[in-house]
Amino acid sequence: MSELTELTLAGARDALADKQITARELTEAHLARVAKADALNAYVLQTPELALQMADASDARLAKGEAGKLEGIPLGVKDLFCTKGVRTTACSNILGDFTPPYESTVTANLWADGAVMLGKLNNDEFAMGSSNETSRFGPVINPWRGAGDSQLVPGGSSGGSSAAVAARLGVAATATDTGGSIRQPAAFTGTVGLKPTYARCSRWGVVAFASSLDQAGPITQTVQDAAIMLESMAGFDAKDATSIERDVPNYEAALTGDIRGLRVGIPAEYRVDNMPSEIEELWQQGIDWLKQAGAEIVDVSLPHTKYALPAYYIIAPAEASSNLARYDGVRYGMRENGADIDDMYASTRAAGFGDEVVRRIMVGTYALSAGYYDAYYVKALQVRRLIADDFAKAYEKCDVLLTPTTPSAAFPIGDQTKDALQMYLNDVFTVTVNLAGLPGISVPAGIDAQGLPLGLQLIGKAFGEEELLRVAGVVEEAAGFTGKADDWWSV
Amino acid sequence: MANSDLISGATGDWEIVLGLEIHAQVSSNAKLFSGAATEFGAEPNSQVSLVDAAMPGMLPVINEKCVEQAVRTGLGLKAQINLYSVFDRKNYFYPDLPQGYQISQFQQPIVGEGAIDIDLDEGTVKQIRIERLHLEQDAGKSLHDQHPNMSFVDLNRSGVALMEIVSYPDMRSAAEAQAYVKKIRAIVRSLGTCDGNMEQGSLRADVNVSVRRPGDELGTRCEIKNVNSIRFIGQAIEHEARRQIDIIEDGGTILQETRLFDPKNGETRSMRSKEEAHDYRYFPDPDLLPLSLTQDFVDRIADSLPELPDDKKARFINDYGLSAYDAGVLVSESENAAFFEQAAQGRDAKATANMVIGSVFAGLNKAGLSIAESPVTAAQVGQLVDLQSDGTVSSRIAKEVFELMFEDGEDQGKDPAVIVEEKGLKQVTDTGAIEAAVDAVIEANPDKVEQARERPKMAGWFVGQVMQETGGKANPQAVNALVMQKLGLD
């Protein structure tokens, strides 16, 4: 049955529809593979009974010809999504064994379309990190290994999602992206990661990190799979005041492969110092592919790019410092008793939050404090506006932008944990997209000298996911990326 | 400003400066950002949604009804309605604040400047300016008396919509502050935007108090939190002003701080100083888009606005010919005004106003009842006014009849005509009968007749005797005329 776990989402869907396989077989194959993959630490909670129950229900619907768009497709769910009756922790100690009595809108959409849940996937604590090393459950290991079989990070914060899809521990996975948390892990693992336009997917029931930046999206094996997943995940939700009432198109149908006449912008400011030449070359390669496919290449400028990372690391922690105030030990999650209420708060939060989360709460609290608010928070909002304006101006000259996804390939476990600033630089090409609320996708496009995957990022116009996916499909096709990590981890 | 509002201290006169922040609970079935119910007095934690409990991943969604109510109130305060306003987070930790922040409006409130007239003694009026009105969430309630070493939290109130109405520091006495609260209460009640129930906490005030020499710069203020009755507002202000004056006159300075009023001893005490004040770290709530209203939305609310207390007062003066004072008393509660208007329908309004104020309100006040609980209906008051107007009963008998209708007893709630009939209280206007009674009294008291011819004032004694003989039913004017005539004094 090992070939069952090699199926793409589109492939599995078609095989299920053609009755070549059953949902139960497909789910069992993935469960069996997950059971052997403890070394990767991708899943923090496996739900095999629930998965089989859902798969059987899918088979019944398939038999009756009532199949949904994702009928019988086994998925992993990032532990940031609240799942009814299934422990949800955001990989933080402070949530203890919190088991939500409700289901996030995005996952509810997936289940309504027939998808099957394999379990909850590891992530950086509260999605704060770029290497999946801040999780209460320990780091996720990238199925791709470095020189001398060294262990690498899978990227973060959606490291469990990227590792699971790369190791075929699920046909696809849900993820979230606040500053690059879908795209960077996808680039590090040879998978496709799509961050939709802000407001495209509901945030209801997703544990909040930074509300104005958070957006759910899929990590998948292929661009087509990303299109299929997004169509199910997206949609207006009256329970999220920032969600937008706008029809969800058939994204899969947008993958025509025809980008003749499309204008692709190349932002000068994304050529950063000390970028490995391999990434520079890959970028050029991408430009050539798109040119060959009939696109027009346009040089554009995004002059405020260099302020994006500092602005992001004001805005995101500021919102986080407030969003995480609800974890106080009073109503749910863990509690450390104290001499009085203030002592209980302090003890609970000291024991419950990890170092990176504490750092961001402190930074955010400082940035919002009286006397600093104007100098930090207000300034950062101004920068954010300028960055959005940069994109608006660039889109007068082009339709999509092409950039590298990350300034490096996956790095060794523990390599950057001592230096927060170094870690933050991982997001340098991705945070601008969140600040401007635009859609972005990372497509695996090449292999570096160590044999590690590298990604190219495409950035679209707001709600321009169809065009974005179409170009991504062309890059994917041209790159012909077929690399796959070996199963060294399987026991 | 009337000089009588000054407070005299050991070193001269002082002026009190007062500004109020009134928290008025919005009348709506659901909370500001969740669908949970808002009914008062429910079982603890029975009206709490996932949003109110700040469960992970929950998001606020504005309740349009609450927005409408805020706009309606703003229009009632003759205030600027801001078509663009922003919800901010006010961050602080407290067990009854589940989110760790209160959603409020800081820099851009939904309602801007306005003004109301407050009614002072004997019909004088003063304008108090409103600085702003904004929408915000209420917190839950901490219960400290349920367990020896733990506190309990009731989140029923968590997330309930409040309107915070902020005045300018335009008030100069406790009486003015009380009149201001009464007026705000009358306005929100007549608009139906807040039930104004202070005992249940639907309306409560933070009072900012400072003192100064008349004409000086503003002094340092103290804020007295959460005062929940009009009487307590008066007591808190009197006490706090006196405290501040004593400190300054003793050579001290006032420290800016938040204080609590203790109704048990009528004093205020320090809650936290300026140094201990929270840094609330306000910032726009990223879960909520700015609130954008159309002029059309505002216009539709304006068109549906009921008559406001001041307009009603003007109408009562103009249409019913009432005095400013009587009109002011009647409109202070919209239910009272409605009771009066129902009673006055088609009859002498002034006489009705006298009976409503002099008998009904006085009786209710004494019995501690609300107008809705009145044993005498508006229609019955009208009937009684009619009996008085057409001379069936004298004003004195009318008062007696009212008491029978009002007080506990077999006649409570009966129609006045029935009581008059059963008790035989009809005024005697039959001159023959009265004449007989007058003759009888004159005949029985020849000495008094002599005295009365010397001193005409003595006629009053004969009138009294006749009224007594007739059980008060004789028409006093008729008795008076006959006595004068028979004694040859006319």
Interface check A236 vs B, CB under 8 A:
no
Q: From the candidates B49, B59, B155, B292, which should be mutated to test the interface with A, based on the most A CB atoms within 10 A?
A: B59
- Domain contains A255: yes
Q: Which residues of A form the catalytic set? A: 78, 157, 181
Amino acid letter, residue B483 = V
Please give the torsion angle defined by the CA atoms of residues A308, A313, A314 and A315, in that order, rounded to the nearest 10 degrees: 80
pLDDT at B421: 85
pLDDT at B471: 79
**Structure tokens belonging to residue A245:** 């009432």
Of A128, A165, A132, which Cα lies nearest the Cα of A151? A132
Of A436, A381, A394, which Cα lies nearest the Cα of A303? A394
- Domain contains A408: yes
CB contact under 8 A, B287 and A82: no
Sign, CA dihedral A73-A216-A185-A285, equals positive
Contacts of B101 in chain A (CB under 8 A): 322, 325
Helix or strand run (H / E) with residue B273 = strand B267-273
Name the DSSP letter for residue A151.
Answer: B
CB contact under 8 A, B153 and A210: no
CB contact under 8 A, A330 and B93: no
Give CA–CA dist A174/A228, Å, rounded: 12
The CATH number linked to A149 is 3.90.1300.10
CB B113 within 8 A of CB B79: yes
CB contact under 8 A, A203 and B281: no
- Domain contains A298: no
Interface check A203 vs B, CB under 8 A:
yes
- For residue B308, the SS3 value is coil
Interface check A319 vs B, CB under 8 A:
yes
Of A75, A42, A306, which Cα lies nearest the Cα of A155? A42
Q: From the candidates B287, B288, B289, which should be mutated to test the interface with A, based on the most A CB atoms within 10 A?
A: B287
Give CA–CA dist B108/B130, Å, rounded: 15
- For residue A249, the SS3 value is coil
Hunting for tokens 């088991």 — which residue is that?
A: A99
Give CA–CA dist A173/A184, Å, rounded: 15
pLDDT at B483: 86
Counting as low any pLDDT under 50, the low residues of chain B are: 1-2
Contacts of A325 in chain B (CB under 8 A): 91, 93, 99-101
* Structural domains of chain B sorted by starting position, each given as residue range(s) with its CATH number in brackets: 3-301 (no CATH), 307-423 (no CATH), 431-486 (1.10.10)
Rg (alpha carbons) of chain B, rounded to whole number: 29
**Structure tokens belonging to residue B34:** 């969740």
pLDDT at B193: 97
**Structure tokens belonging to residue A256:** 């025509």
Hunting for tokens 């496919």 — which residue is that?
A: A293
Of B30, B100, B56, which Cα lies nearest the Cα of A204? B56
Amino acid letter, residue B490 = D
The distance of B180 to chain A (nearest Cα, Å) reads 33
- For residue B85, the SS3 value is strand
Q: Is A230 exposed, middle or buried (0-12, 13-18, 19+ CB in 10 A)?
A: buried
| A to B CB pairs, distance under 8 Å | 97
Contacts of B35 in chain A (CB under 8 A): none
- Domain contains A205: yes
pLDDT (tens digit, 0 to 9) for every residue of chain A, 491 residues total? 448 999 999 999 999 999 999 999 999 999 999 999 999 999 999 999 999 999 999 999 999 999 999 999 999 999 999 999 999 999 999 999 999 999 999 999 999 999 999 999 999 999 999 999 999 999 999 999 988 899 999 999 999 999 999 999 999 999 999 999 999 999 999 999 999 999 999 999 999 999 999 999 999 999 999 999 999 999 999 999 999 999 999 999 999 999 999 999 999 999 988 888 999 999 999 999 999 999 999 999 999 999 999 999 999 999 999 999 999 999 999 999 999 999 999 999 999 999 999 999 999 999 999 999 999 999 999 999 999 999 999 999 999 999 999 999 999 999 988 888 888 988 999 999 999 999 999 999 999 999 999 999 999 999 999 999 999 999 999 999 988 889 999 98
- Domain contains A388: no
The tally of CA atoms less than 13 A away on the side-chain side of residue A417 is: 15
- The β-bridge partners of B257 are B222, B273
Report the residue from A205, A342, A345 with minimal CB separation from B57.
Answer: A205
pLDDT at A21: 97
Give CA–CA dist A57/A35, Å, rounded: 22
Can you give the residue range of the structural domain that contains A125?
Answer: 2-261+398-479
Contacts of B36 in chain A (CB under 8 A): none
Residues in A 84-123 with any Cβ partner in B closer than 8 A = 88, 90, 95, 98, 100-102, 104
pLDDT at B3: 56
Give CA–CA dist A441/A460, Å, rounded: 9
CB contact under 8 A, A90 and B283: no
- Domain contains A370: no
- Give the chain A residue nearest B283 (alpha carbons): A368
Interface check B143 vs A, CB under 8 A:
no
- The number of folded domains in chain A is 1
CB B463 within 8 A of CB B476: yes
CB B172 within 8 A of CB B218: no
- Domain contains A343: no
The distance of A119 to chain B (nearest Cα, Å) reads 19
- Domain contains A216: yes
Report the residue from B95, B99, B287 with minimal CB separation from A242.
Answer: B287
Interface check B289 vs A, CB under 8 A:
yes
